[in-house]
Structure 1
Amino acid sequence: MSKVEERLAALGLSLPDVAPPVAAYVPAVRTGHHVLTSGQLPMVAGKLQHTGKVGAEVTPEQAKDLARICALNALAAVKSLVGDLDRVAQVVKVVGFVASASDFTGQPAVLNGASELFGEVFGEAGVHARSAVGVAVLPLDAPVEVEIMVRVTDPS
């Protein structure tokens, strides 16, 4: 087990299986030292954990937890390409989308669910640039979607 996965276990978390794509794309691609994931939904064992808009059917606290699930799914996609998450040298960028009620403006707090997880498991290497974007709707009526870019220690 990698050190990253040991840190996840200490948090009571484990990497899921890679979520299968819901359309014509792959979960992640690698180019040189970088792995970019597709947008990851809050799926657990193939089931979307919640649906609806944040600020309406979904509370900001629930959405923050869902962003954490998205982050775990993104890490699983990265691991599927690099084999060992200890090879992640830096979480470079996180982009998060929040399906938002028309008056909801707390997208950054929702995405902290993902950002805080990366900090907990990677330490300084988990500090990243980020965008938190409110949108009208996401695939499958998911409340949150997260994609990441990481730098790994050796190109392939």
Structure 2
Amino acid sequence: MTTQTVEERIAELGLTLPAVAAPVASYVPAVQTGSYVYTAGQLPFVDGALETTGKVGSDVEVEDAARLAATCALNALAAVKSVIGDLDRITRVVKVVGFVASDPSFTLQPHVINGASNLLTEILGDRGVHARSAVGVAVLPLDAPVEVELIVEVAGE
């Protein structure tokens, strides 16, 4: 019996692992130290562009923001792959940190970041279950509605 790879699972879900998003400032997309990879905050870029901008709760609906958070998570996996070469080396998503550009009255940040969390679990199964923070902020780079970063543990080469 063959085991499905992470990238095969991504394809089975109808998704494509994107190219790593180019940094919008002075940083790198991901860094490995020891057995951990830390990603920079990933915006919901698709083909190098943001699909939508604005505040969640006024300009962007919760369901759309959750879908954008999933896009951020997929972009974060691409950043992880850029430093480890093979996503099958992921042994655990340790933590997800999600930022939601929120209308001042918006309080459903956890529902938005569920988009990222649920996708990671769909792709990685038990390895994708993680600790998490979901934080409302006034504004994000490029007026993105959501940003997600990951900390993942990886097996040796």
Cα offset for 1:14?
1.0
1:6-155 alignment, distance < 5 Å? 6-154=8-156
Residues in 2 aligned to 1:72 and 1:125: alpha-carbon distance in whole angstroms: 15
Residues in 2 aligned to 1:33 and 1:151: alpha-carbon distance in whole angstroms: 6
How well do the aligned residues superpose, as a CA RMSD in angstroms?
0.9
Q: What SS does the aligned partner of 1:102 have?
A: coil
**AA of the residue aligned to 2:24:** V
Cα offset for 1:111?
0.2
**TM-score under structure 1 length normalisation:** 0.97
The sequence identity of aligned pairs, in percent, is 67
Number of aligned residues: 154
**AA of the residue aligned to 1:69:** T
Q: What SS does the aligned partner of 1:117 have?
A: helix
Residues in 2 aligned to 1:12 and 1:95: alpha-carbon distance in whole angstroms: 25
Q: What SS does the aligned partner of 2:22 have?
A: coil
**AA of the residue aligned to 2:132:** R
**TM-score under structure 2 length normalisation:** 0.96
Residues in 2 aligned to 1:128 and 1:15: alpha-carbon distance in whole angstroms: 21
Residues in 1 aligned to 2:47 and 2:126: alpha-carbon distance in whole angstroms: 30
Q: Mark the runs of 5 or more structure 2 residues left unpaired by the alignment.
A: none
Q: Mark the runs of 5 or more structure 1 residues left unpaired by the alignment.
A: none
**AA of the residue aligned to 1:67:** A
